[in-house]
């Protein structure tokens, strides 16, 4: 981290950012009961700004939390060409964090299966998820923490609406399909711009993704640009949209599985009362 001792303004801004990220992360953890006493939390560390920030804030909360939980950082080395294998071990050893580097050559699999020019994210994420789930079971992790933030969750909502025909997103807490793993997203309430500013000030050794990060015109990037444009034109709009995800009214949508529209009928008692009043 940069030395801010002689730069009080930057130090103040860093402290404000850290307090805000810590408060929002703590609130998300409490709202969704993400971490419980005795949990072993596997923090998935990619080398990007989000996962670095998540690890930092969780360690910060761990020091003062009223419950006891452990943290183990896990990086999935996907054998991408030029991947700097030394960076994360050096960083984590300096912090004194328990960690594992999981080596899986998913890069070759993705490049072999996905045609040139096509989006690799779908297959890559499935392979990555399978590897991490299996390793979490191997080390006895009770929670798997991912670094997705509020903007990721909103982008996924619109991606599913525009391209999947579903009203769903990334939940802050998720049970895997086989029921074996609980996935948590502690940064669910945090804004990407705050995380980005925090990461710059902390001078994290960012590792770019050469597999998907270099792809242009991804659907997610298009949606991200749309949301950012909306936020510039109408400040606060993305915050309102995220609030909407927490205030769902099934009776005013159109999913017959969530609300019994077929059984919706007039209430005779209400009609009788209305008739009596009108008399």
Is the CB of residue 144 less than 8 Å from the CB of residue 184? yes
Known binding-site positions for [4Fe-4S] cluster: 121, 124, 212
Residues contacting residue 236 through CB under 8 Å, at least 6 positions apart: none
| Cα–Cα distance measured from residue 38 to residue 56, given in angstroms and rounded to the nearest whole number | 20
Tokens 């801010």 found at? 4
Residues contacting residue 30 through CB under 8 Å, at least 6 positions apart: none
| Cα–Cα distance measured from residue 163 to residue 195, given in angstroms and rounded to the nearest whole number | 28
Residues in the chain: 279
Known binding-site positions: 121, 124, 212
| Cα–Cα distance measured from residue 130 to residue 4, given in angstroms and rounded to the nearest whole number | 41
Instruction: Please name every residue paired with 115 in a beta bridge, in sequence order, or none if there are none.
Output: none
Give the residue among 215, 238, 113, 223 at the shortest CA–CA distance from 162. Answer: 223
């Amino acid at each position: 981290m940069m030395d801010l001792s002689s730069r009080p303004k930057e130090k103040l801004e860093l402290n404000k950012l850290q307090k805000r990220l810590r408060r929002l992360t703590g609130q998300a953890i409490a709202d969704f009961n993400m971490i419980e006493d005795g949990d072993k939390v596997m923090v998935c560390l990619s080398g990007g700004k989000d996962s670095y920030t998540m690890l930092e804030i969780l360690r910060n909360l761990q020091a003062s939390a009223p419950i006891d939980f452990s943290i183990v950082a896990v990086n999935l080395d996907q054998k991408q060409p030029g991947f700097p294998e030394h960076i994360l071990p050096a960083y984590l050893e300096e912090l004194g964090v328990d960690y594992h580097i999981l080596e899986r050559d998913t890069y070759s699999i993705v490049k072999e299966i996905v045609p040139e020019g096509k989006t690799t994210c779908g297959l890559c994420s499935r392979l990555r998820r399978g590897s991490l789930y299996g390793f979490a079971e191997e080390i006895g992790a009770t929670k798997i923490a991912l670094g997705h933030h509020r903007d990721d969750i909103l982008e996924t909502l619109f991606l599913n609406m525009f391209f999947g025909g579903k009203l769903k997103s990334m939940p802050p807490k998720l049970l895997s399909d086989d029921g074996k793993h609980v996935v948590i997203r502690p940064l669910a309430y945090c804004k990407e711009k705050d995380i980005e500013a925090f990461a710059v000030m902390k001078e994290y050794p960012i590792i770019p993704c050469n597999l998907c990060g270099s792809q242009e015109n991804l659907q997610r990037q298009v949606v991200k640009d749309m949301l950012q444009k909306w936020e510039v034109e109408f400040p606060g709009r993305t915050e309102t949209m995220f609030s909407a995800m927490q205030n769902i009214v099934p009776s005013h949508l159109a999913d017959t599985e969530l609300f019994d529209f077929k059984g919706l009928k007039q209430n005779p008692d209400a009609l009788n009362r209305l008739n009596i009043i009108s008399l």
